[in-house]
Amino acid sequence: MQKKVTPCLWFDTQAEEAARFYVSVFPDARLGKITHYTGAGPAPAGAVMTVTFHLQGQEFMALNGGPHFKHSPAVSFVIHCDTQAELDALWEALPAGGGAPGQCGWVEDRFGVSWQLVPSTLDRLIDDAEPERSRRVMEAVLQMRKLDLAALERAWAG
């Protein structure tokens, strides 16, 4: 069954390379259908046009559309990590080959796509009924690059 919403990532010519990279980085990921240009434009016949791939149950499409558009952190993908080990592994893998880690759990991959790597418990810690707990957790997040689940739990506990 086709999903009603599929994020489409625009690339110049790296759609297949990016899709294969993402599938190699995430557990429970797989490559989908690859389509090719027919010669009607804008790329030569046989060049990869789109690649679908699935990351943890979410379908994505990568499109080779040319150099007209670039990725921006204004659109990012939030990855909820159940363990620190999962978060650590993605933090190392995603920026490999030319990406860059950022602040507050953000990382940019070598294709310019932004990811937010957050503990699955972060929403609960920040949205606490006790405002002082929420404040402490948010202050801790703002001091971190890679989020540290144990440190966030300690901030919450006071």
pLDDT in tens, 110-157: 999 999 999 999 999 999 999 999 999 999 999 999 999 999 999 999
92-102: pLDDT as tens digits: 999 999 999 99
pLDDT surpasses 70 at 1? no
Instruction: Provide CB contacts within 8 A for 143, sequence distance 6+.
Output: none
Architecture of 71-158 per CATH?
Roll (3.10)
Task: Tell me 102's DSSP state.
Answer: -
Query: What is 1-69's CATH number?
Result: 3.30.720.100
Sign of CA dihedral 56, 114, 78, 62: negative
The average pLDDT across 10-15 equals 97
Helices 131-143 + 149-157 axis angle, to 10:
150
Burial (CB count <10 Å: 0-12, 13-18, 19+), residue 28:
exposed
CB neighbours of residue 137 within 10 Å: 24
pLDDT at 4: 86
For the chain, domain boundaries: 1-69, 71-158
Spatial distance between the Cα atoms of 144 and 87, rounded to a whole number of angstroms: 14
Q: Are 135 and 97 in contact (CB under 8 A)?
A: no
Give the per-residue pLDDT at 59: 96
